[in-house]
Amino acid sequence: MKTFKALLTLGLLLTANTGYCDIGSQDKNVREKIIGQETAVLTDAPAVPPPITRKHATKVIVNLEVKEVEGRLADGVQYTFWTFGGKVPGKFIRIREGDQVEFHLNNHPDNKMPHNIDLHAVIGPGGGAAASLTAPGHSSHFSFKALNPGLYVYHCATAPVAMHVANGMYGLILVEPKEGLPKVDHEYYVMQGDFYTQGKNGEQGLQPFSMVKAIDEKPEYVVFNGAAGSLVADNALQAKKGETIRLFVGDGGPNLTSSFHVIGEIFDNVYPEGNTNTVTHNVQTTFIPAGGAAIVEFKTHVPGTYILVDHSLTRAFNKGALAQLKVSGDEEKLIYSGKITDDVYLPEGTGMRNAEQTKVAQPSAATKQERIKLGEVVYNTNCAACHQLTGLGVPQAFPPLAKSDFLNADKVRAIKTVTGGLQGNLTVNGETFNGVMPAWSLSDEEIANVLTYVYSNWGNSQQEVTPDEVRRHRVTPGKNGSE
């Protein structure tokens, strides 16, 4: 009670000083009447939904679909992204302060993992995470009231959280202040993220996630909008001389902070940390924490190509955190006399792409040793998220594969478990589990490889599983009646 009074006094003091009372306006937002209903317009980066012009709070329905998709991370480098809406970063969500949001999280049936969402714009435990945990082929919904205006990050918070975020599960939600934001000519959505591949930067082929590099905070790629070069050349941001630009910039991390800078521009306005109540001016580089955001605004005066970077520069020029803004129009010699060409920084930026070629595919294994090696890749890509790289699992959630009595007792049952999925009560090494193991649509070869890898490690029985055995014992997903 005392602290509450103190906070109230602080709130009043702040009102007196800045004309703005955070706590009071939150209370007003709690009480604000909800009039009508609409479905949110969601956009893929770099597009931003149109400004909100309504003068009242409404009920906004948000439908967001989680999709696990393979896509381009850099030239010749593919990655299995986990996404909110099919792309990295996730769909941009724009609502108004005071709105009541009915949030639907849909986990596509082709996905392999459970997912959820933690929106930093939500006040409530987990920011919606516990209320939104959703298995593949399911849809959850929860609702929240947007009490604080600002630009907020949202992300998946399913264990292992850092892995879900590292795979691209983040995006931005703008809670537009009641009075709206000043009008500008262009609004764009840019979000930085760090990626941890098993292969070195530039190594070709489909690259599995590396938990080891993620824990060491040593990304192979640091990029804007989900891929190196996502916003260059034909995909560069566009403007004309004399236009005003607003960038909604987020940092999904999972680990690195961004020193966000546009080479050749000065930010006329920055709303630091995404806080729409405070504007600072004449900023060169603004700091964006992991899991944070900022809004920057500037007017273009001189035509040419401007480079957006994380000013921790090896990230920009060696790991991919580089984008372009192309400003068209007549030269402006008075402000800038030099000749401006398009490709000043590109030769350096493209240097990151040449590296030796390694092929990540699954040929058929000639020996057990080869099978184990191939199985490790399948395991790290598909199984480690739950059963962990150590095979030890997660207490009360994912059973261990290391020294598992369930696994070692019956090879055929293991094949049925992986091909058909498994749910319901299960006892492994005396511990009870009651979770859902998804069914895997992997080839006979891949399942033979992954099970042989599992059997050959962590104190297990050393059995080999052959593709022929998988073919003979595989079951239809969901039809695993063995347990």
Among 131, 232, 401, 448, binds ligand HEC (CB under 6 A): 401
- How many angstroms separate the CA atoms of 232 and 343, rounded? 10
Residue 156 site contact among ligand HEC, Cu ion, none (CB < 5 to 8 Å, cut-off depends on kind): Cu ion
DSSP class of residue 197 equals B
Q: Does 253 engage in binding with ligand HEC (CB under 6 A)?
A: no
What DSSP letter does each residue of 80-108 carry, written as one string?
EEEEESSSSSPPBEEEETTPEEEEEEEE-
The verdict on whether residue 301 carries a ligand-binding annotation is: no
Number of H helices, E strands in the chain: 12, 23
Among 159, 392, 394, 426, binds ligand HEC (CB under 6 A): 426
Q: Does 227 engage in binding with ligand HEC (CB under 6 A)?
A: no
Among 382, 449, 456, 480, binds ligand HEC (CB under 6 A): 382
What DSSP letter does each residue of 389-416 carry, written as one string?
TTS--BTTTB---TT-HHHHH-HHHHHH
Q: Does 308 engage in binding with ligand HEC (CB under 6 A)?
A: no
Among 29, 58, 80, 158, binds Cu ion (CB under 5 A): 158
Find the part of the chain contacting Cu ion (CB under 5 A) among 108-116, 130-138, 176-184, 328-336: 108-116
Residue pair 302/240 in contact by the 8 Å Cβ criterion = no
Find the part of the chain contacting ligand HEC (CB under 6 A) among 22-30, 97-105, 378-386, 461-469: 378-386
Q: Does 440 engage in binding with ligand HEC (CB under 6 A)?
A: yes
Find the part of the chain contacting ligand HEC (CB under 6 A) among 27-35, 222-230, 314-322, 420-428: 420-428
DSSP class of residue 125 equals G
Indicate the residue whose CB is closest to Cu ion. 156
- How many angstroms separate the CA atoms of 225 and 255, rounded? 16
CA angle 328-329-330, nearest 5°? 145
Site for ligand HEC in 101-140 (CB under 6 A): 112-114
Residue 115 site contact among Cu ion, ligand HEC, none (CB < 5 to 8 Å, cut-off depends on kind): Cu ion
Q: Does 248 engage in binding with ligand HEC (CB under 6 A)?
A: no
Among 24, 51, 86, 435, binds ligand HEC (CB under 6 A): 435
Per DSSP, what are the bridge partners of residue 281?
Answer: 269
Site for Cu ion in 413-432 (CB under 5 A): none
Find the part of the chain contacting Cu ion (CB under 5 A) among 41-49, 112-120, 190-198, 465-473: 112-120
> Crossing angle for the helix pair 411-420 and 444-455, nearest 10 degrees?
130
Residue pair 43/49 in contact by the 8 Å Cβ criterion = yes
The verdict on whether residue 437 carries a ligand-binding annotation is: no
Residue pair 251/300 in contact by the 8 Å Cβ criterion = no
Residue pair 339/304 in contact by the 8 Å Cβ criterion = no
- Least separation in angstroms between residue 252's CB and ligand HEC is 22
Neighbours of 115 (CB within 10 A): 26
- Least separation in angstroms between residue 137's CB and ligand HEC is 13
Residue set of the binding site for Cu cation = 115, 120, 155-156, 164, 169, 311
Binding site for Cu ion (CB under 5 A): 115, 156, 158, 164, 169
